[in-house]
Amino acid sequence: MSIATMACTVATPAFALVPKIRAARELAFHNLHTDEKLRITYWKDGNYNRQACQQINHILRDFRSGDTYPIDIRLFDLLHELQTKLNNDGTIEIISGYRSPKTNMMLASLSDGVAKNSYHTKGMAIDIRMPGSSLPKIHKTALAMRRGGVGYYPDSEFVHVDVGPIRRW
């Protein structure tokens, strides 16, 4: 057996003993309409925590109707990555999370800025602010991520992000 073969044979078990590091993913929310707050670890040890996801679904519910809906977990990961890129692990202020179809129809009848087939009604969108990060910076960072739709609403003071097709407005 050559020295190189022996070195690889000896080294291989050592690599197997090194634990894989899997950082937990945490999100913190403040629902501005209900004043509820939640800081929760939604992913740990390579798995999504079902109970944590249900608590996030609840805080992102349609505050007008009280309806909850299963939020797409890709949205949680998008928010976590956005915060990481912004170096901001603070609270995400919720302007709008899930919207029931009835609520969305009502809002669409009042404003041209509400899509009739909004990703909010599919649990795939959120309108946010993040204290400590300016709206232009949130907008620019979300666009650079290319993970879905990004809308900028400076007059209403929020940024829309979703996990639908990549687009911007």
| Residue 29, φ and ψ in degrees, nearest 5 | -125, 150
Query: Domain limits of the chain?
Result: 22-168
pLDDT at 3: 42
**What would be the CATH architecture of the domain defined by 22-168?**
2-Layer Sandwich (3.30)
- For the chain, the first-to-last Cα distance in angstroms comes to 64
pTM of the model: 0.85
pLDDT at 22: 66
What is the pairing mode between strands 92-96 and 125-129? antiparallel
Helix (H, G, I), strand (E, B) or coil at 25: strand
pLDDT tens-place values along the chain, 169 residues long? 444 434 333 443 444 444 445 689 999 999 999 999 999 999 999 999 999 999 999 999 999 999 999 999 999 999 999 999 999 999 999 999 999 999 999 998 888 778 888 999 999 999 999 999 999 999 999 999 999 999 999 999 999 999 999 999 9
Report yes or no: 90 and 132 within 8 Å, Cβ to Cβ: yes
Rounded CA separation 145/80 (Å): 12
pLDDT at 6: 41
